[in-house]
Structure 1
Amino acid sequence: MTAEIDVLVLGGAGVDTIVHVPELPVPLADSHMIRPGIVTRAGQSGDFVALGTSALGLRTHHLDLIGDDHEGDLVRALHRDHGIALTAVPQPCGTKRAVNLVGPDGRRLSLYDATRGSETDRLPEETVRGLAAVSRHAHVVITQPCADALPLLREAGVTISTDLHDWDGVNPYHETFALAADLVFLSAAALTDPEAVMRRIAARGRAEAVVATAGAEGAYLLADGELTHVPAAEPPAPVVDSNGAGDAFAAAFLYGRLGGEDALHCARLGAVAGAYACTVPSTRVAAVGPEALLAGVAGHVPGTLSGA
């Protein structure tokens, strides 16, 4: 069957309420005056990956559980406005939502509403199979219903990527995703030894490449048994917020990978996209386009072999 979808994104659709705070952690006080204000907008991990791949010209389809509520309307509008196909499975518990506390330096603390889902949530098997059958690649967000879809995606023969975010390298929940994916992204923020965790993922699972992002320090790429340090790219404007930077990195990496580029070049694309995302205020959603991405990577410093 001919592929109609380049990237099928599973999970991670939701709404964030952005609250700017004077610093993180928030100083204990009876109240704080918040500027530039409090804004609620659609856009969580899966939304940002879908936005990123779509902006780069990849045919993208997003699948998730979404409620019949105001937050769900915001998610549906985001996809409609950006021309991203969306299959919204009804979620009686409501659409995923979170509060993001954003400090002056762009760092954030996310508070997720754990009531917007249940242990019995599932993505319909027929829907997953049908979309996977016409997809080249699936990016799976680590939200609870998506773990059960991994075997279905594997049966369909699509390649799989996932983002473990700030995994500590120990929590068993993340391992299901890490060991099933061909391409694994994670943040180095909670890891004392990123290289050891990356090599363990590659040895125990099926990952051809593992990427650990490290903010201003760039990223580490493990591919073909070699660990390479990929420097951070120069942001095209002042850094205002790190929200969505990891998702932008993943989207650009997939753009390169599906275009036949080697892993190091893909990581360099990711670094440029991640830097661009850091210049976008948390109250907005925007992704780098192909021309700006390719121009940015042309001036990016190549990676060097490193012992993270």
Structure 2
Amino acid sequence: MSAPTYDVVAIGNAIVDVLSQATDAFIVEAGMNKGSMALMFSPEEADALYAKMGPGVEASGGSAANTVAGIAALGGKCGFIGQVASDELGQIFAHDIRSVGIDFTTAARDGEPTTARCLIFVTPDGQRTMNTFLGASQFLPETALDREMIASAAILYLEGYLWDPEEPRAAMRAAIEIARKAGRKVAFTLSDTFCIGRHGADFRDLMAKDLLDIMFANEAELLALMQTDDFDSAVEAASQQVPMLVVTRSEKGAIAVSGGQTVTVAAEPVARVVDTTGAGDLFAAGFLHGQAQDLSVAESLRLGAICAAEIISHYGARAQVDLKALMAEKLGG
């Protein structure tokens, strides 16, 4: 098996995030459920809500894209595969993700729908309320896969959100096969409980068929996947079906279970939680970067915790400090 030329290649929704501060009253008036993610089903609906937003910040986003951006900031070599449209937002996404050093080779898609966008309203308590129009990101075909990139990555990272539409789901299954044939690892994030509600049987099947090496979940997602209300039971059951189980638990830190051994990490202290957008994505970035660099599970968990703490201390899902310098400061070298 040849040495990998990428640390991580991710497949996920190619979304342009638009973040804006909002009051609790605005959330209520707009009919949104605070702290949740809701889908918008037409560009007209997205345009109408966008018009009501205050000043916003635009950046390439999407869960897996946020993760590889974090890994790139840590010094890792990454690629991203995701579908944009031939429009202005598609150009913004492509330019933004390439500007942080990530290889992005997916050709833009002509015609409707437009590039995906996520309108994120951040309230004073740091909670984010997301409204997403998935647009072109739902139409990633298997033919768009950069097979050489996937086969050259130490870890293929898949986003559960993208499992919902049929076309990218088939593409991700094909990507798993490419990675497996190349002798690479496959990591998967469950993304959200609504994904598990729709595709939990599929996810459990991936585990049962030994197609996943690393699975990321938060506490609620793990309970939903394993169909139990007992956290310890869920961990025990899931860890018997996947070589590496990583579970984030907000202020309670995170755990990883591998080879029958459980490793825990405390949450990094944060002066004030400003915005939780991307916390799980950046935790995965730190952990995967550690694994790609052959660090221990404990060291990888610590990297994840440090990255997550940096992200929730400010608005947006991209680091606002030099992550490599932050790691040197926190880890002493």
TM above 0.5: yes
Matched, 1:104 2:124: yes
Matched, 1:11 2:23: no
State whether structure 2 residue 231 is matched by structure 1 residue 213.
no
8 Å Cα contact 1:230/1:268 also seen in 2: yes
Over the matched positions of the two proteins, sequence identity in percent amounts to 24
Q: How many Å apart are 1:38 and its aligned residue?
A: 3.1
- One-letter code aligned to 1:130: E
Which of 181, 188, 192 pairs up with 1:162? 188
Residue 75 of structure 1 aligns with which residue? 93
Distance 1:106 1:212 in 2: 22
d(CA) in 2 for partners of 1:75, 1:169: 24
Q: Following the alignment from structure 1 to structure 2, what is the Cα–Cα distance between the partners of residues 175 and 17?
A: 33
Q: TM-score, normalised by structure 2?
A: 0.77
1:172 Cα deviation from its structure 2 partner:
5.1
Shift in alpha-carbon separation, 1:168–1:198, aligned structure 2, 3 A: farther
Aligned residue number for residue 219 of structure 2: 188
Q: Which runs of 5+ in 1 are unaligned?
A: 300-308
Q: Letter of the aligned partner of 1:77 in structure 2?
A: H
Higher helix share: 2
* Contact 1:167/1:187, CA 8 A, preserved across alignment: no
**Structure 1 counterpart of 2:61:** 43
CA distance in 1, matches of 2:108, 2:200: 25
8 Å CA contact 2:83, 2:109 repeated in 1: yes
Partner of 2:266: 231
CA distance in 2, matches of 1:6, 1:59: 5
Distance 1:250 1:43 in 2: 15
Q: Distance in 2 between matches of 1:169 and 1:72?
A: 25
- Alpha-carbon contact 1:24-1:103 (below 8 Å) kept: no
Q: Aligned equivalents of 2:189 and 2:121: distance in 1?
A: 21
Alpha-carbon distance in structure 1 between the residues aligned to 2:126 and 2:146? 36
Q: Decide whether the 8 Å contact of 1:277 with 1:287 is kept in 2.
A: no
Change in CA separation of 1:72 and 1:29 when aligned onto 2, cut-off 3 Å: closer
Moved beyond 6 Å, runs of 4+: none
Instruction: Report whether the alignment pairs 1:123 with 2:142.
Output: yes
Measured after TM superposition, the shift of residue 155 of structure 1 is 2.1
Quote how far apart the aligned CAs of 1:290 are.
Answer: 2.2
Total equivalences in the alignment: 293
Partner-residue secondary structure (3-state), 1:26: helix
- 1:154 Cα offset (Å): 1.8
Structure-2 separation of matches of 1:182 and 1:24: 44
The equivalent residue for 2:70 is 52
- Write out per-residue CA displacement over residues 36-79 of structure 1, whole angstroms, 9 at most, x where no aligned residue: 73333322212211111111111111111121112111111112
Check whether the contact 1:101–1:110 (CA below 8 A) recurs between aligned residues: yes
TM-fit CA distance, 1:80: 2.8
Whole-Å separation in 1 of the counterparts to 2:97 and 2:195: 33
Which AA in structure 2 matches 1:135? Answer: A
The residue identity in structure 2 corresponding to 1:224 is: G
The separation in 2 between residues aligned to 1:208 and 1:197, in whole angstroms, is 15
Q: What is the TM-score when the length of structure 1 is the normalising length?
A: 0.82
SS at match of 1:276: helix
Structure 2 gaps of 5+ residues are 32-51, 224-228
Distance of 1:283 and 1:258 partners within structure 2: 22
Looking at structure 1, the residues matched to 281 and 317 of structure 2 have their Cα atoms a distance apart, in angstroms, of 16
- Measured in 2, the distance between the counterparts of 1:26 and 1:240 equals 17
CA, structure 1 residues 168+11, in 2 after alignment: closer, same or farther (shift >3 Å)? closer
